[in-house]
């Protein structure tokens, strides 16, 4: 496992799509509130790199862009919700988030924040390929998100 840094990584968020408005100031506050809990939830795995990163860059992109990256790096040219690279880059499809928000009866903002926490947990060593760990990860991310939303709303 990589050596831990003494400070938390900086989280930078960018809107790189035009289909949906992205509440970047609110999402930045969510990221700041969720980061300590994501670090605390780190798994003892070699790919748990969150504590070692200087910066995490989160980009909200279109379905076309995430499908391109998905095809190039994961050999699946279809849109997906979140792609996390262990060098500290997280791509989130705003269009997929909008569709999933409707399906889950959530706001777009909630879905975008959920995907942000999901990506941070991947950087903390969480996997969601196997059903049992995916369920555990879903529970963990929902708990972290609710705590972050409460913190942000209280301030």
User: What contacts 87, CB < 8 A, 6 or more positions away?
Assistant: none
pTM of the model: 0.94
Which helix or strand (DSSP H or E) is residue 14 part of?
A: strand 10-15
| Domain presence at residue 94 | yes
| For range 101-112, the mean pLDDT | 97
| Domain presence at residue 42 | yes
SS3 at position 91: strand
| Domain presence at residue 1 | no
Mean pLDDT score of the chain, rounded to an integer? 94
Q: How many CB atoms lie within 10 A of CB 71?
A: 12
Task: Tell me which residue range forms the domain holding 27.
Answer: 10-154
| Domain presence at residue 3 | no
Into how many domains does the chain fold? Answer: 1
30-77 per-position pLDDT tens digit: 999 999 999 999 999 999 999 999 999 999 999 999 999 999 999 999
**What's the CATH code of the domain at 103?**
3.40.390.30
Question: Tell me, what's the pLDDT at 7?
Answer: 73
CA distance from start to end of the chain: 36
């Amino acid at each position: 496992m990589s050596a831990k840094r003494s400070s938390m990584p900086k989280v930078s968020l960018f809107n790189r799509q035009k289909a949906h408005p992205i509440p970047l100031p609110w999402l930045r506050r969510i990221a700041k509130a969720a980061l300590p809990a994501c670090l605390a939830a780190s798994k003892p795995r070699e790919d748990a790199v969150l504590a070692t990163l200087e910066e995490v860059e989160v980009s909200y992109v279109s379905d076309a862009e995430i499908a391109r990256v998905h095809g190039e790096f994961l050999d699946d040219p279809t849109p997906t919700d979140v792609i996390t690279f262990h060098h500290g880059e997280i791509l989130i499809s705003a269009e997929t988030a909008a569709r999933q928000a409707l399906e889950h009866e959530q706001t777009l903002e909630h879905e975008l924040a959920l995907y942000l926490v999901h990506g941070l947990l991947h950087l903390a060593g969480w996997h969601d390929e196997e059903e049992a760990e995916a369920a555990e990860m879903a529970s963990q991310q929902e708990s972290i998100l609710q705590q972050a939303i409460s913190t942000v709303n209280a301030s």
